[in-house]
Amino acid sequence: MDFAGQHIVVTGGSSGIGLVTARLLAKRGAAVTLIARRSDQLEAAKQEMGGRTAWAAADVGDKAQLEAALDAAVHQNGPIHGLFANAGLTGGFTPAVQFDPEVFEQTIRVNLTSVFWAIQKVLPAMIEAKSGAILVTGSMGSKRGMAMNPAYVASKHGVLGLTRAIAVEMAPHGVRANCIIPGFIKTEALERIPPEQQGKIAQRVPQRRMGSPEELAEVAAFLLSDAASHVTGQDWAVDGGVLESIEV
């Protein structure tokens, strides 16, 4: 998985899975452009990672901001060889009958529509180059229902369908698209949960532990790399066996 000479864009790249994956890609030779809302964290990441790391601040739920950030990425690091569409919202937990329509629309826009916007923006150059890799962050909610979070589940089912549609259409053009499915990954959000609750979550995983962002980043890097040249249209779970367990 050598990324020398390749430019990978990572949305949601200022923290969590996006940042850890970006670090790994940069370590393996990629020029990485990070896109997220928080410019201070983006700059800190750039200083830490060095090399050809660049960033562009944008709210991915704003089409104009997202497209401007992708244009800036090309200006700073050249043609985009890979897109890791990772930015997203949790949507909040509320019973369906009380769910705020504005929160629903915002969650769909950030988690699903913005992924389509980003893919649509990068595809023409990838088609022309007859090469490209797109990776979308899904969720266990892409594969199963989840009570009291209709917006998140709908959006994550949607990105899996979008990934499959793009994969089939783009396969003749040499462009691949896959969806990575994180399980219970120990990010900042999960670490804020009380330790006893973390223990209960870990026990729901057949491996009896939560995964690390580094474990997920290794799979993400593989799917973005030329090593996965015959892998497209797939949903790839990094979940310790949760989705195959009858216990959940």
- Could you tell me the sign of the dihedral formed by the alpha carbons of 140, 144, 148, 149, in that order? positive
Domain ranges of the chain: 7-242
> Rounded to a whole number, what is the distance in angstroms from the first to the last CA of the chain?
34
CB 91 within 8 A of CB 112: no
List 99, 117, 152, 236, catalytic entry? 152
pLDDT at 68 over 80: yes
Q: Angle at the Cα of 20 (from 17 to 23), degrees rounded to 5? A: 145
pLDDT band of residue 247 (cuts 50, 70, 90) is low
**Encoded tokens for 62:** 């704003």
Query: What CA–CA distance (Å, rounded) separates 227 from 234?
Result: 15
Global pTM value: 0.96
Query: What CA–CA distance (Å, rounded) separates 38 from 33?
Result: 14
Assess whether 152 carries a catalytic annotation.
Answer: yes
The CATH label, of 3.30.465.10, 3.30.450.20, 3.30.70.270, 3.40.50.720, for the domain at 7-242 is 3.40.50.720
pLDDT at 248 over 50: no
Query: What CA–CA distance (Å, rounded) separates 63 from 234?
Result: 27
pLDDT of amino acid 190: 79
